Amino acid sequence: MIETEDLKRDFEEELKALSSREGLSVLKAKYIGRKGLIAEAIKALQSLPKEERPSRGKILNELKEYIEKRLSEKEKELLEKEYKDRALREQIDITVPGRLQKLGSEHPVSKTLKEIIDIFSSMGFSVEEGPEVELDYYNFEALNIPKDHPARDMQDTFYITDEVLLRTHTSPVQVRVMERRKPPLRMIAPGKVYRCDADATHSPMFHQVEGLMVGEDVSMANLKAVLIEFLHSLFGPDTPVRFRPSYFPFTEPSAEVDIGCLFCSQKGCRICKSSGWLEILGAGMVHPKVFEMAGVDPDRYTGFAFGLGVERITMLRYRIDDIRLFYENNLMFLNQF
């Protein structure tokens, strides 16, 4: 027969030695569990004379209640200790100087694109978007680009199927906008475009901004006024601008727009190939066939369109000679901006 005083003393010694809550469940199972020492002592009561069993049982029940109470008190004590220890570990010293967080900055292409959008928005142009995975119809046919045009060559275009491709310019957006909105309208379509080309001045993915203005009396003079205002806002009011005759399937007449070389002040250098001029964008009056494909009456409305490469303008503004630097994530390069 286990003596209750010895049981109580052993329990107290083990309880005192506990330093974590993990040991409490073990101690509880040992003394008051279903197969614990108290349970064994109660089971052993059957071997005692009947007259001794009630008093002995009462003592064991009192010991069990005592152990339960002491375990509860110990658990509370250990919890308080854990909270205090945790508070000490996690406390914040408000007198310690803060650690400066390194902040990123706008990517030069994003910065230039934002400025371009701001300039045209100030002139009343809305910003429109379209799908980057485009249909052949919108990318070529609706823009008066016939099947045998060089722009359809596999060397230039990423084809997914015969009728689906990655758009090569943002011009398809102007057709989609004219299909759902009636003139007059003025809009720009900034976004990513894709072409099978990669070297120091070309990237398989780059950014373009397409512009369109349609109304009853829109003329080449309006086109020149808008683009000159844009270029002067972007490069400075004294920047020389010229328009050269050119050809695009979706505009007639068409023009290439140049600005005076920013590197040599038109004296002639390697960048401008000694011409004193830098090609900056293409533009022209919207071809009547494009209007017809988009459901706009070409006898009533006229309009102009233009397109520019954001990376090219960024390279000129920041004197960058390799387009690949924009996408290599070189921090020494990006930290300059």
**Dihedral of alpha carbons 170, 175, 176, 178, sign:** positive
Distance CA 203, CA 325 (A): 11
**Domain presence at residue 136:** yes
Together in a domain, 38 and 145? no
Least confident of 67-76, 98-107, 173-182, 237-246: 98-107
| Bigger pLDDT: 253 vs 35 | 253
**Domain presence at residue 20:** yes
Look at the pTM and tell me if it is higher than 0.75: no
Together in a domain, 321 and 211? yes
Q: Are strands 164-166 and 241-248 parallel, antiparallel or unpaired?
A: unpaired
The reported pLDDT for the residue numbered 58 is 82
Together in a domain, 180 and 293? yes
| Bigger pLDDT: 240 vs 91 | 240
**Domain presence at residue 101:** no
Reply yes or no on whether the pLDDT at 327 is more than 90. no
Reply yes or no on whether the pLDDT at 2 is more than 60. no
Distance CA 197, CA 205 (A): 9
**Domain presence at residue 66:** yes
The mean of the pLDDT values for the chain is: 87
The reported pLDDT for the residue numbered 296 is 93
The reported pLDDT for the residue numbered 223 is 96
**Residue after which a domain boundary falls, among 90, 119, 141:** 90
The reported pLDDT for the residue numbered 155 is 64
The reported pLDDT for the residue numbered 164 is 92
The reported pLDDT for the residue numbered 225 is 96
Together in a domain, 122 and 86? no
Q: What is the CATH number of the domain that holds 208?
A: 3.30.930.10
| Bigger pLDDT: 142 vs 90 | 142
Q: Among 191, 235, 232, which Cα is nearest to 209's?
A: 191
The reported pLDDT for the residue numbered 1 is 47
Reply yes or no on whether the pLDDT at 28 is more than 90. no
Distance CA 20, CA 79 (A): 9
Percent of the chain with pLDDT over 90: 45
Provide mean pLDDT across the span 150-159. Answer: 75
Together in a domain, 41 and 119? no
What Rg, from alpha-carbon coordinates, does the chain have? Answer: 41
**Domain presence at residue 103:** no
pLDDT in tens, 124-137: 999 999 999 999 99
Distance CA 212, CA 184 (A): 11
Domain residue limits at 313 = 108-334
The reported pLDDT for the residue numbered 118 is 96
Together in a domain, 176 and 322? yes
Together in a domain, 126 and 83? no
Q: How many domains does the chain have?
A: 2
**Residue after which a domain boundary falls, among 90, 125, 146:** 90
**Domain presence at residue 100:** no
Together in a domain, 117 and 255? yes
Distance CA 26, CA 16 (A): 14
Distance CA 297, CA 42 (A): 103
**Residue after which a domain boundary falls, among 58, 90, 122:** 90
Rounded to whole angstroms, what are the CA distances from 91 to 31, 87, 97, 211? Answer: 39, 6, 15, 58
**Domain presence at residue 15:** yes
Contact status, residue 41 vs residue 8, Cβ threshold 8 Å: no
Together in a domain, 168 and 219? yes
**Domain presence at residue 96:** no
Together in a domain, 24 and 118? no
Together in a domain, 43 and 149? no
The reported pLDDT for the residue numbered 172 is 93
Together in a domain, 254 and 169? yes
